[in-house]
Amino acid sequence: MNALQFFTHHDNLFHDVKESCARVFIMNFESILRLAIFALFAVLAFLGASCGESNSVDKNVNTIEVDSNLIIKENLVNAIVQEDCVLSNGTRSRCFLITVKAKPKEHKMGPWCPETITDSKDSGGIWFRDGKIYDVDGPFIANLDKFYSDPEWKLYREDGSVKVTATQEACEAAARPDVDEKYHNYCVQCAPSYYESKEITYRIPVKPVFMKFPTAIGRDGIGLAFNGVPFDPAAPVHAILAAHTLAPLDDCGGHVNPHKGYHYHAANGCSKEASKEENHPPLLGYALDGFGIYALKNEDGKEPDDLDDCRGHTDEKRGYHYHAGRPGDNKIIGCFRGDPGSVSVESLEREG
């Protein structure tokens, strides 16, 4: 074999080897691709089944229709109507469309922050820690450093006056998760008059739809009292305290923020009550999923002992329903057991 034949032979051999390797690579790649596609479809099928299961309706639980006649008419912006709706988990339903001004008629709003460190409890609201309620009077403000075991706390000046957010601008700089540094160590209060133009619209299913799994409560809200005031999720205590601020509630469990105006973080027995019967706690309003929110204690002062994580249970007359948490718990209910509707806020100032 001469040199030319040698190189030609080995070149052909190398070419054959390349083709063989290429065929093996393609075969292996196709096998891997088929396995990957199969695995992807398996994962998608699993996720689809899981989502379908989590969104499924449990028809074995008794549910009672919402009584829209209990909403105080004087607070309605428009007459309550029904409309077709799609709930948060995709359930098609009929919803009440309820638009209100969140301004209670049954009680006054405030006070929240005392003016001096010698003021009595009548000059301030309430605050909570570890399930307990405390009067925000002057001495409470003066001793926050001891209350929280933190010397950084000082919400008052040398003359004894309390540092209070006294304007809308100050309110909006302080009543937010990232508190403006200028308003650290302030008692935060916002006047209801700042946000009187706000209207709140609730879409609540006419008949609640009980779900197999609970739905977490978002920042939009929990529901409404009969006076139209929102029941809101837990106050963001961590953000409030991190800036060494205090945002007291009034004695009725409410305060004001720039988003919704006046709203409740606790059910303290100030708002309209209904359905007080059979030694059962009275009905206070409705959650966004349409289930009733009842007070915690009955006439004997007893609390139900069989509540689930959402703070609900079932009885024959009321079906599934919730009981509001203790005022110091910073939690009216824990989650939604029904498929929730929605809430939106609009300011009339935009129309001007």
Confidence of residue 52 (pLDDT cuts 50, 70, 90): very low
- pTM across the whole model: 0.83
The two structure tokens encoding residue 237: 């205590």
Greater confidence, 143 or 42?
A: 143
Least confident of 35-49, 120-134, 329-343: 35-49
pLDDT cut 90: percent of the chain above it:
77
Helix (H/G/I), strand (E/B), else coil: 34: helix
Q: How many CB atoms lie within 10 A of CB 250?
A: 23
Q: What is the rounded CA–CA span in Å between residue 231 and residue 331?
A: 10
**211 neighbors 338 (Cβ within 8 angstroms):** yes
Per residue in 194-215, pLDDT (tens digit) is: 999 999 999 999 999 999 999 9
Confidence of residue 172 (pLDDT cuts 50, 70, 90): very high
pLDDT in the model for residue 36:
52
Per residue in 293-306, pLDDT (tens digit) is: 999 998 888 999 99
Greater confidence, 12 or 348?
A: 348
Segments making up each domain of the chain, as ranges:
1-54, 68-103+196-229+271-351
pLDDT in the model for residue 149:
98
CA distances to 1, 9, 10, 14, 19 from 5, in Å: 6, 6, 9, 14, 21
The two structure tokens encoding residue 134: 């405390």
Q: How many CB atoms lie within 10 A of CB 66?
A: 22
Confidence of residue 277 (pLDDT cuts 50, 70, 90): confident
**pLDDT tops 90 at residue 253:** yes
pLDDT in the model for residue 10:
45
**296 neighbors 326 (Cβ within 8 angstroms):** yes
Per residue in 126-169, pLDDT (tens digit) is: 999 999 999 999 999 999 999 999 999 999 999 999 999 999 99
